[in-house]
Amino acid sequence: MIVAPPRFERIALVGIGLIGSSISHACRRAGLADHIAVHTRSPRTLEQAEALELGDSYHGDITEAVKGADLVVVSVPVGAFEAVAKQVGPHLKPGAILSDVGSVKQSVIDQVRPHLPEGVHFVPAHPLAGTEHSGPEAGFAELFDGRWLIITPLDGTPEEPVARLEAFWRALGSKTTRMDVSHHDFILGITSHLPHLIAYTIVGTAADLEDELQREVIQFSASGFRDFTRIAASDPVMWRDVFLHNKEAVLGILERFHKDLEELEDAIRSGDGETLHREFTRTRGIRRAIIEAKQA
Amino acid sequence: MIVAPPRFERIALVGIGLIGSSISHACRRAGLADHIAVHTRSPRTLEQAEALELGDSYHGDITEAVKGADLVVVSVPVGAFEAVAKQVGPHLKPGAILSDVGSVKQSVIDQVRPHLPEGVHFVPAHPLAGTEHSGPEAGFAELFDGRWLIITPLDGTPEEPVARLEAFWRALGSKTTRMDVSHHDFILGITSHLPHLIAYTIVGTAADLEDELQREVIQFSASGFRDFTRIAASDPVMWRDVFLHNKEAVLGILERFHKDLEELEDAIRSGDGETLHREFTRTRGIRRAIIEAKQA
């Protein structure tokens, strides 16, 4: 099959935070758009985007931004998709591709699908890339280089728009793969959502300490805690929405986590060094596999 | 007060893993010892240490290693201190400083103190430095540069040996501070022991998955999980001993952790986005403070 080049005449970026602005930079680097139209809800952020020259046009009105676009990428918190879909649905051009970057796929699909006109191709996608920084000034062209982009194609979507979006993301620097929707939400629950929730918890526990203790925890953070604070500095609105919209997978994974933690806790309580040693040895194998998979 | 230079005639390194071998490298870099005597229990590790030229003499017999030493640094898992103290106690030279690098201080002190002869100064210490690698080939001279060394001096120890050990560690590259014993064990429980236990748990949960799922978790680990696998690749014997020997502090901190996690879990279950947002915002402040404290 011949895949159309990943170039678009008009790309509309809805949402211009860390991910939206990085898409703009990477698009420019690869020359993927004749015109980039930027929309974001906050007038102040739109001004910032303009000052950073992230687009070719800037629109407070979302319908103006998507009008005539052949690719619309929505990079907003996963709780905001229904509102966006309702607004943009009637204004999308036939044949346009609508995509997203949400960390949860089933909920985004449920929010978007009812509002899409015939002839518009909705191709849900999720780049596994980010930093703890947020906002339009946080983006950079290299964010997606060598990182995975997971596409969860919907039944009935033709191959051409899916392949075209894949080619686009590869041109942005990503490796691409396809996955079933619920499988995506479960795997990301383990690799991303659970670690974030735990990091938020541990750092929150420290934030509850009285001032003097907290000062010491910060001073001696290099002994392990520090790695958690980076994760727990991620965007609060984005993560609130992730947990509210991947509730079932996250709660299911938490159940396993509690069971496993209680086993280790019981071993500590009863002085069962054999169990601790066995469990701590097993986990080294996972690290080795990650290094071999060149993910570290 | 005039502090004696941090130079020693004979330093005995008991245990030559990541920390012991790094002390050797850093000692050499700063010219802190006329002679470094190396002991470790495993003949194979002792051979490795010799091949790496980590000492000036190598001793399978621990009493030979410490004989005549004016500084003995014991770098073994915190569960092994009683056995070491029993063996070396009778062979230590009057006026010698005995120190350690254990992540738990009360237990090490309880194990060592009964076996020390009069006139030997036991100065418990803990360098907050390490990597996920272990063994004599893992050490390097820069490991302690800019990292904290916490000393927990015992009542009745004269100032001179404490100040001399501090000067020694500063010459190895560390910043030094003093702390109360039980306070050390509580603070490290939060900043180091809890994060390690949680990382071991999360990575262990993934290790329980069937092969195909586990392969995917590894492939997509960059989205948060990866940071935990590095921590969970730490030395299993060292960490088994830490948990067995800081049991009460760790179990107490785990109680807070469970309570805090359940609050977030309840918020997810009931769709309480306000609580999630508030908690996720609070944790950003800790990260900022760490960056300001130049610990990140």
**Residue among A114, A251, A252, A104 at smallest CA distance from A179:** A104
Rounded to an integer, what distance in angstroms lies between the CA atom of residue B151 and that of residue B136?
24
Yes or no, beta carbons of A208 and B260 under 8 Å apart: yes
Residues 24-43 of B with CB under 8 A from A: none
Q: Name the band, by pLDDT with cuts 50, 70 and 90, for residue B296.
A: low
Yes or no, beta carbons of B187 and A283 under 8 Å apart: no
Partner residue facing A295 (CB), from B188, B221, B253: B221
Contacts of A97 (CB under 8 A, 6+ apart): A70, A71, A72, A120, A121, A122, A123, A161, A164, A165
Q: Which of B78, B144, B185, B225 to mutate to test the interface with A (most CBs of A within 10 A)?
A: B225
| Whole-structure pTM value | 0.92
**Residue among B104, B114, B72 at smallest CA distance from B91:** B72
pLDDT in tens, B34-54: 999 999 999 999 999 999 999
SS3 A224: coil
Partner residue facing A192 (CB), from B207, B225, B287: B225
Rounded to an integer, what distance in angstroms lies between the CA atom of residue A97 and that of residue A55?
19
Yes or no, beta carbons of B192 and A230 under 8 Å apart: no
A247 inside 8 A of chain B by CB: yes
Are the beta carbons of B107 and B246 closer than 8 angstroms?
Answer: yes
A286 inside 8 A of chain B by CB: yes
Phi, psi of B197 (to 5 degrees): -65, -40
Q: Name the band, by pLDDT with cuts 50, 70 and 90, for residue B292.
A: confident
pLDDT in tens, B120-157: 999 999 999 998 899 999 999 999 999 999 999 999 99
Rounded to an integer, what distance in angstroms lies between the CA atom of residue A147 and that of residue B178?
44
Are the beta carbons of B100 and B238 closer than 8 angstroms?
Answer: no
Taking all residues of chain A, what is their mean pLDDT, rounded to a whole number?
Answer: 95
Chain B contacts of A283, Cβ < 8 Å? 199-200, 203-204, 207, 229, 232-233
Closest Cα of chain A to B171: distance in Å?
Answer: 20
Give the pLDDT score at A2: 53
pLDDT in tens, A251-262: 999 999 999 999
Residue A178 has pLDDT above 80, yes or no: yes
Residues 224-243 of A with CB under 8 A from B: 224-234, 236-237, 239-241, 243
B260 inside 8 A of chain A by CB: yes
Give the pLDDT score at B223: 78
Partner residue facing B217 (CB), from A190, A244, A276: A190
A:B CB pairs within 8 Å: 287
pLDDT in tens, B65-108: 999 999 999 999 999 999 999 999 999 999 999 999 999 999 99
pLDDT in tens, A114-163: 999 999 999 999 999 998 899 999 999 999 999 999 999 999 999 999 99
Chain B contacts of A206, Cβ < 8 Å? 190, 286
Strand ranges, E, within B88-163: 97-100, 121-123, 125-127, 148-151
Partner residue facing B283 (CB), from A207, A218, A224: A207
A262 inside 8 A of chain B by CB: no
Q: What share of chain B is helix, strand, coil (3-state, %, to 5)?
A: 55, 15, 30
Domain covering B8-180 in this structure, CATH number: 3.40.50.720
Yes or no, beta carbons of B232 and A194 under 8 Å apart: no
Closest Cα of chain B to A105: distance in Å?
Answer: 15
For the segment B166-194, the average pLDDT, to the nearest whole number, is 97
Domain covering A183-292 in this structure, CATH number: 1.10.3660.10
In chain B, which segments carry CATH 1.10.3660.10? 183-292
In chain B, which segments carry CATH 3.40.50.720? 8-180
A128 inside 8 A of chain B by CB: yes
Query: Which run of H or of E encompasses A223?
Result: none
SS3 B126: strand
Phi, psi of B227 (to 5 degrees): -60, -35
A217 inside 8 A of chain B by CB: yes
Give the pLDDT score at B288: 87
Q: Tell me the residue type at A155.
A: D
**Residue among B290, B247, B191 at smallest CA distance from A205:** B191
Give the pLDDT score at A1: 52
pLDDT in tens, A19-34: 999 999 999 999 999 9
β A125-127/A148-151 pair status = antiparallel
SS3 B172: helix
Rounded to an integer, what distance in angstroms lies between the CA atom of residue B280 and that of residue B296?
19
